[in-house]
Amino acid sequence: MILSDEKTDKKPILIKESLVKSKNRFSLPNKYKMKSFPVFCDFWVPGFEKFHPSKMIQCLCPVETDMEECFEAFCERLDLSLQTKKYLPVLRIGDGELEFMFGTHWYNSCHNPLNNFLNFLRFLRARIRFGRGLNAFTVGVYSSGRYSAEEVKEFRPLYMKELMSVINNGIVAFHLFVMKVPFSEPYFPLLDKFLCDCGTNITPQNVLPGYFVYSFFASPRAKKVFEGKRIAVVHSADGARRAAITESIINQLGVSNVHWVEISVDRSLTDTIDENEFEDCDSILVGAGIGKVNIFAQLHNFCGPVIDLGYVFESWHVHENRFKRVYCASDNDWQSRGVENVWEAGI
């Protein structure tokens, strides 16, 4: 969904006016529909369409969008940022980030009563354990952030400010997907109201589907873009975990050097990094959980792409992890797994 503008100096991609609008086959309730993202598009990525069929997932978009052209433009824009040494932030916003911004909303009209009851019990358990603070985990794999209620209130304005900064200067990859299994729909209208109140001009130039980031780094395109480049990694990993991730980055991306900048495990909203650490780097890959906006806010002067990777690091740490999250393994990876459809397999 990336088009050219005077900031990117790249050729435009075509948004086909003649495309037939996709049907909202999953019947998103009207109260969850968004003015900023009014179009439902079948979502797919080249190299992933066999095991991730588009009939299983839709994406909310600002306009009707050709996904192949959209993904290709994203790859080209990353490459252009590297070649021209121009700052390009790519920030992913999913359910954890939305919960930080708007508080916990456990009730989902897309769920049946039993699921909503279970969600309520989880909400009560979290409230008893953590009060009104936030202790987020990504599917139990790693901590995405641990903050008190006072800290959430303190840092929320930073979140809003940096989100707007990235929209104005780069790409925000929103997790605005509609599937058979409901996920983060209650946050859609809250985000929509925030964007509308800010007068934000949401276009195919500054937003893209969140899964494009995973897909890019699981595809051969990543090596074509990053081969020979010097990479900085902002992450909490150390020891054997760091060594495994470094080896994967070198093998899969073909980079010439990996420089680590260590941050805290679950307190990255309070971390300070030294921008001089990145003087000899071509790109920065960030794994900072919910506190990522604090890291991005300190990197505005960097000359090149700064990309929020999240779970990609887990797939680099243990290769088997790429089969535990959609779009982290391509069709070629799935060939020998005995699975015909990752959605039906419960991935």
**DSSP of 159-215, one letter per residue?**
HHHHHHHHHHHSEEEE--EEESS--SGGGHHHHHHHHHHTT----TTTEEETHHHHH
345 lies in some domain: no
Let me know whether 235 and 269 are in one domain. Answer: yes
Q: What is the pLDDT of residue 259?
A: 97
Please list the ranges in the chain whose pLDDT falls under 50: 1-22, 139-140
10 lies in some domain: no
d(CA 319, CA 298): 31
56 lies in some domain: yes
Q: What is the pLDDT of residue 248?
A: 97
Q: Which domain holds residue 140?
A: 98-149
Let me know whether 52 and 180 are in one domain. Answer: yes
Q: What is the pLDDT of residue 138?
A: 52
Element (H, E) at 208: strand 207-209
Q: What is the pLDDT of residue 24?
A: 55
Residues 211-237 as b/e (b if ≥16 CB within 10 A, e otherwise) read bbbbbbbbbebbeebbeebbbbbbbbb
Let me know whether 112 and 253 are in one domain. Answer: no
Total domain count, the chain:
2
pTM of the full structure: 0.87
Domain boundary among the residues 134, 149, 164 is at 149
194 lies in some domain: yes
Q: What percent of the chain has pLDDT over 70?
A: 88
Q: What is the pLDDT of residue 5?
A: 36
Q: What is the pLDDT of residue 144?
A: 64
Domain boundary among the residues 108, 123, 149 is at 149
Tell me the one-letter amino acid at 104.
Answer: T
DSSP state at residue 94: -
Let me know whether 140 and 284 are in one domain. Answer: no
7 lies in some domain: no
Q: What is the pLDDT of residue 189?
A: 95
Let me know whether 71 and 81 are in one domain. Answer: yes
Let me know whether 128 and 229 are in one domain. Answer: no
